[in-house]
Structure 1
């Protein structure tokens, strides 16, 4: 099956030619950024992949696949070398702050209703503020698209309330967990991706729209080699599934042979 591979975007994201700042959508084209954290530090990288580009490319009938090898980034290697892998969390985020605010994030399970539009706009502003702190860190650390932060410093992903919180629920404003772990390491175990539109002020519920491609819902995961994947493809059966399928075909073949022998 042919897939639409966004290799150029992945290469650009790790090159000096990439935008040296996370775009928070004031121009209608917010960037996706990946954030990873444990209790002592966090790492954020701008993918240089825009929400509007992803939405367009997901319509490709052949499927969609984006991949980025995080291990190609020296800052990531420095972060992961000292990270507590057992407690490591990560999420993928993009924000649009032009017109109706929109936040797109990863999820494992969505609740039946969205948060209020007021809370959503507050959350979108907080995501934009967090991205701004990360951008400041990129500049200070001399990086084109990524930065590392110690806990309790501006730009750290899981600071407490009052210190630009982000983390698994955007400072408690979100009504679901937006983060995964290193166990989310395959298409089958990947997180979903949901767009949350905060269309008006007030207490009415916002609109949650899980993203899907032509072949499947979007799945986001980090492989064992620390490659980030965003994919909407036909799922490939696991080896155990293949084994069960082959065993079933063998059994069906044996039954068919026995019937032919009985009829003969």
Structure 2
């Protein structure tokens, strides 16, 4: 992963804590945003562009106020469009619009998790506190996918909240987790529970690390190593590094 440039001085607002909501296009991010903020939304545009800018408020106890930023959808922190660049620059602190983000909430499509994990692991590597909102759990179930949420949570080292946002399922828990995290002292993100060496090579003999069995090693940034750990050695990978899995594949053994 390319080196993150030094961040500009964040723009702070008295009494308001900034939280980013981000995810792949079609992950249900807008449904999550609407369910969390209701009518407490403000819609505009980013300066100098026509890309829509949406913010909403969450209010907690003791005067706690959270400003939730619904960032443009993107697949990677390496931008390929104007929308991508706006979101990536805010997340990495390179944008004049960057805030002192206390938390990043990543919305992922549970029915297409292999693709969504690419962005998830990149964001975890930024070093900020992260919550994973695992949306569309009902769609995943209808496709025969079984996701062990606790195992995924342990492997990533971040809280995972299962959701069906368009039905309101899990929204109350996500809201509680957001308010709890922003009001608490920031904790260091734990390392994944598989060995990584400083040279960026993972030589784990785990049978669930793609291409990283007894005779292989997984080389690359830690974000890639985290993602590899979720797929068995038989998984086939596309040229872009995305695992090509069958819909009937079970993630039960994560």
TM-score normalised over the length of structure 1: 0.24
TM-score normalised over the length of structure 2: 0.25
Is the radius of gyration larger for structure 1 or structure 2?
1
Specify which structure has the higher proportion of strand: 1
